[in-house]
Amino acid sequence: MKNSNQFSIGFWLKKTAKKNDGQIPIYIRIRFGKQRSDLSVHRTVIESHWCTSSGRVHHRFKEAKGINMYLDDIQAKLLDCHRQLMAEGAPISARAIKERFLGNDKPVQTLKDIIEFHRKHEAPKLAKGTVKNYSATETYLARFVKERFRTSDVKLSLIDYAFLIEFETYLRNCDTLVKNLPLSNNGIMKHMERFKKMVTLAHKFGCMTRNPFSLYKMKFDSYDSDFLEEEEILKIRNMVLKDPGLDKVRDIFIFSCYTGLSYIEVKMLKQGDIVKGVDGGEWVNVRRKKTNTPVKVPLLFHAKCILDKYRSVPDYMNDHSLLPVLSNQKVNKYLKIIVKLAGVDKNVTFHVARHTFATTITLMNDVPIETVSKLLGHTKLSTTQKYARVVEKKISKDMMQLKKAMEAGPDRVSENDGNPVLKIVK
């Protein structure tokens, strides 16, 4: 059948492959310009049942209807492949149309393909900790597929909305990678979030006609992040620690409390990251490892004291980092010992220092939330607004001051456009 002067499709019998029972394979020939490409349609017919002029089985034979409908479907799909290539502005040839029909022109076709593609092309752009989290998600996916489909891999076409719901249910009930540490709802949602990024990649490549995650809604539980109160910071800061390892961990933790830098940002801090600020003082000038957002933070007194304490630390052995930062696992292990010795009854990890900077050091000292957002390197103010409970605490503090002020002296009333205005005598 001719579709244009360049493109045509026709069915024919490959008589050289005739079988002993007289059945002959049906092939389709794709022509584009002077090029042609042949493809078996995996159907056979006896030569006397075949109509050469129509390229179909004679309608009077029993099997004609089923075979002809199948051939019509293949023809329609090949026409659509040609249309897709034209719409994409891709180079068109008989082979290109055939490869699109077979799905061989897609970079990924199965779940393992998209995992491998993500690992090769996307993972190198991510932090090591993030890559480790993706590895956990991949492991859970492999376990789920093996249990659900009794196979090691599945076609992307099988990943639909039902697949997502079943995978989520699996995560809520399966044996976890870390024994005796069940997955929380937010942990499960993070696995779904990482899976979504991989599926979205496949959808962008055109390997999936529809992204099932467009129907799936992630539901994270809101939670209040731990942070240290002022007296708790003082307890930890003023402790005398004879163990050099504990002493170093305490110092870098306090440094983060007064700068808001994350673990990796403290670990990678170099001399060139300390610059002269607009006020003439020393500032930390780095880019957030997570978002590559520029962050500029004035060096507060206690943070500067810690840098001075370790002024002799930077050398080629530690890649010229300003502070002696141990591994993340060791830091968090030592922190649990430190807070216990300090009598602080909280579950403290290194990330608590960042929350402490956002709350106790800044918001509770009247730094506007917009400024705090910039200091933390947040790209959205809504990210910083999770510290709203601290703002509420500050409102309570401010209202107490207001109450004391009102009780301290008489109210004064002044005229402003004829309307009385209440003024508080402080």
Where residue 391 falls among pLDDT bands split at 50, 70, 90? Answer: low
For the chain, the structural domain boundaries read 7-102, 111-214, 230-399
Sheet holding 282-287: strands in order across?
Answer: 274-276, 282-287, 294-298
Distance CA 400, CA 25 (A): 89
What pLDDT is recorded for position 100? 82
Pick 61 or 164 by higher pLDDT: 164
Residue with tokens 């030569």: 47
Q: Give the pLDDT confidence of 345-365 residue by residue, as tens digits.
A: 999 999 999 999 999 999 888
* DSSP classification of residue 398: H
CATH number assigned to the domain covering 230-399: 1.10.443.10
Helix axes 128-149, 185-204, angle to 10 degrees: 90
Least confident of 87-96, 163-172, 224-233: 87-96
- Check: CB of residue 385 under 8 Å from CB of residue 370: no
pLDDT at 414 over 60: no
Distance CA 173, CA 188 (A): 11
Where residue 162 falls among pLDDT bands split at 50, 70, 90? Answer: very high
Q: Give the pLDDT confidence of 3-44 residue by residue, as tens digits.
A: 445 889 999 999 999 999 999 999 999 999 889 999 999 999
pLDDT at 418 over 70: no
What pLDDT is recorded for position 263? 93
Distance CA 142, CA 144 (A): 5
List, in sequence order, every residue forming a beta bridge with 416; answer none if it has no partner: 419
Pick 378 or 339 by higher pLDDT: 339
Residue 154: partners with Cβ closer than 8 Å, 6 or more residues away: 110, 111, 145
Q: Give the pLDDT confidence of 92-150 residue by residue, as tens digits.
A: 889 888 988 887 776 678 999 999 989 998 999 887 778 889 999 999 999 999 999 99
Distance CA 295, CA 376 (A): 7
- Check: CB of residue 219 under 8 Å from CB of residue 189: yes
What pLDDT is recorded for position 37? 93
Tell me what the mean pLDDT of segment 234-247 comes to. Answer: 95
**In percent, how much of the chain has pLDDT > 90?**
59
Pick 392 or 256 by higher pLDDT: 256
pLDDT at 225 over 90: no
Residue type, 217: K
pLDDT at 186 over 70: yes
Three-class DSSP category at 58: coil
What pLDDT is recorded for position 420? 44
Residue type, 351: H
What pLDDT is recorded for position 198? 95
Q: Which helix (H) or strand (E) holds 136?
A: helix 128-149
Q: Give the CA dihedral 249, 252, 255, 257, nearest 10 degrees.
A: -60
- Check: CB of residue 163 under 8 Å from CB of residue 208: no
Q: Within 13 Å of residue 131, how many CA atoms lie on the same side as its CB?
A: 12
pLDDT at 425 over 80: no
pLDDT at 270 over 80: yes
What pLDDT is recorded for position 208? 84
